[in-house]
Amino acid sequence: MSTSLLLAVTLVLPLLSGVVASAADHRPALMRGLVFPLLGVAGLMAVGLGGHALLQGTSETLVYPLGLPWLHWHLRVDPLAGFFLALIGFVVTAVSLFGPGYVREFEHGKQSLAVLGFFTGLFVSGMLMVVVAADAFSFMLAWELMSLSSYFLVAYQHRNAANRRAGFLYLLMAEVGALTILLGFGVLAGFGDGFSFAAMRAAPLTPAWASIAFALGVFGFGMKAGLVPLHAWLPEAHPVAPSHISALMSGVMLKVAVYGFIRFSFDLIGNVHWAWGVALLIIASITAVFGVLYALMQHDLKRLLAYSSVENIGIIFIGLGLSMIFYGTGFPLLGTLGLVAALYHTLSHALFKSLLFLGAGAVLQRSHERDLDRMGGLLRRMPWTGLFFLVGCISISALPPFNGFVSEWLTFQTALQVPSLESGVLRAVIPLAAAVLALTGALAAACFVKVYGTAFLGQARTRRVRRSNEAGRGMLLGQALLALACLLSGIFPTLAIDAMANVTRSLTGQVLPAATAKGWLWLTPISADTASYSAPLVFVGMLLALLAWAVVNFILRPAGRVVTVRSDAWDCGFGPLSARMQYTATSFSMPIRRIFAPLWPGQADAERDARTGPGSEARQTRYQVRTGDVTWKWFYRPVVQLLHATTRRVSRIQTGNLRHYLGYTFVTLLLLLWLIT
> DSSP secondary-structure letter at 272?
-
Task: Read off φ and ψ for residue 317, nearest 5 degrees.
Answer: -75, -20
Question: What pLDDT is recorded for position 625?
Answer: 67
Nearest residue to 337 via CA among 561, 213, 165, 514: 514
Cα 505 to Cα 270: distance, rounded to the nearest angstrom: 13
Nearest residue to 436 via CA among 600, 562, 322, 533: 322
Nearest residue to 394 via CA among 382, 380, 406: 406
Nearest residue to 468 via CA among 388, 382, 373: 382
**Contact in structure between 367 and 468 (CB atoms under 8 Å):** yes
Q: Spell out, as residue ranges, where the chain has pLDDT lower than 70.
A: 1, 557-565, 568-569, 571, 573-577, 600-626, 677
**151 CB-side CA count, 13 A:** 17
Cα 329 to Cα 273: distance, rounded to the nearest angstrom: 8
Question: What pLDDT is recorded for position 335?
Answer: 92
Nearest residue to 385 via CA among 472, 490, 489: 472
Nearest residue to 21 via CA among 93, 125, 91, 94: 125
Nearest residue to 229 via CA among 298, 291, 301, 319: 291
**Contact in structure between 299 and 372 (CB atoms under 8 Å):** yes
How far does the chain reach from its first CA to its final CA, in angstroms?
56
Cβ contacts of 304 within 8 Å, gap of 6 or more: 295, 298, 372, 447, 451
Cβ contacts of 461 within 8 Å, gap of 6 or more: 373, 374, 375, 376, 377, 579, 580, 582
In 380-466, at which residue ranges do the beta strands (DSSP E only) sit? none
Helix axes 493-508, 473-491, angle to 10 degrees: 70
Task: Read off φ and ψ for residue 328, nearest 5 degrees.
Answer: -70, -20
Cα 87 to Cα 50: distance, rounded to the nearest angstrom: 8
The one-letter amino acid at 331: F
Could you give the 3-state DSSP secondary structure of residue 608?
strand
Cα 426 to Cα 422: distance, rounded to the nearest angstrom: 8
Question: What pLDDT is recorded for position 186?
Answer: 92
Cα 80 to Cα 61: distance, rounded to the nearest angstrom: 13
Cis peptide before 401 (omega within 30 of 0): yes
Q: What is the pLDDT of residues 537-570, one digit of tens each?
A: 999 999 999 998 888 877 776 555 556 667 766 7
> DSSP secondary-structure letter at 191?
H
Cβ contacts of 261 within 8 Å, gap of 6 or more: 217, 218, 221, 222, 225, 320
Nearest residue to 256 via CA among 395, 406, 85, 90: 85
**Contact in structure between 287 and 228 (CB atoms under 8 Å):** yes
The DSSP bridge pattern shows strands 71-77 and 60-68 to be: antiparallel
Cα 161 to Cα 634: distance, rounded to the nearest angstrom: 25
Tell me the Cα Rg of the chain.
Answer: 27
In 91-147, at which residue ranges do the beta strands (DSSP E only) sit? none
**Contact in structure between 94 and 392 (CB atoms under 8 Å):** no
Neighbours of 442 (CB within 10 A): 12
